[in-house]
Amino acid sequence: MMSRAPFVFFLILPLLGTQPASDDPALLDTAVPELLKKHRVAGAGIGIIRAGELTWTGYYGLQRPGVPVTRETMFNTASMAKTVTAETILRLVSKGAISLDEPIAAHYAHPELADDPRYRLLTPRLILSHQAGLLNWSYDYPDGKLAFIA
């Protein structure tokens, strides 16, 4: 599955064996192509953030044969979105902003699920503990539409 974001930041400095203060773009320009080759990665987009501000971006490798990685490259993000979403939800719970047991239907009506009565029972706790009764992606269903299987 490809990310809908323009590009993804990869934390690459630990692979370089450097400290965050050593995030010199010249070092990255030298080291990243070798890391891509060594780890058999086609391409990467990297951002340097200092004091909460994006200060530099670099793009390396190929998004497909003969086409270099650019700011517009769509990267496969694996399941990182799940980690970020879980952390965000749990922080909101810790601040009392939401409950793990409040149905999500009160806040969001999913176009493919909202008419199913089971949707009104779906909570963050069920979703985060993989008990939602849904397959991962719409394309996992024969008709391409998200639906409860359990």
Q: Give the model confidence (pLDDT) of 41-74 as tens digits.
A: 899 888 887 777 888 999 999 998 999 999 988 8
* DSSP label at residue 97: S
First vs last C-alpha separation in the chain: 24
Q: Let me know: does 36 contact 12? Beta carbons within 8 Å.
A: no
Reported confidence tier of residue 77, pLDDT bands at 50, 70, 90:
low
**Category of 40 on φ-ψ map: left (φ > 0), alpha (ψ -120 to 50) or beta:** left
Q: Let me know: does 29 contact 58? Beta carbons within 8 Å.
A: yes
pTM above 0.75, yes or no: no
- Segment 95-133, tens digit of pLDDT: 999 999 999 999 889 999 999 999 999 999 999 999 999
Q: Let me know: does 122 contact 104? Beta carbons within 8 Å.
A: yes
pLDDT of 131: 94
What is the biggest distance separating any 2 CA atoms in the chain, rounded to whole angstroms? Answer: 56
Give the number of other CB atoms < 10 A from CB of residue 85.
Answer: 14
Whether the per-residue pLDDT at 10 is higher than 50: the answer is: no
Helix (H) or strand (E) holding 62: strand 53-64
In this structure, what token pair is assigned to residue 144?
């391409």
Least confident of 9-18, 82-91, 137-146: 9-18
In this structure, what token pair is assigned to residue 145?
């539409």
Could you give the C-alpha distances from 39 to 33, 62, 99, 112, in angstroms and in order?
Answer: 10, 14, 41, 39
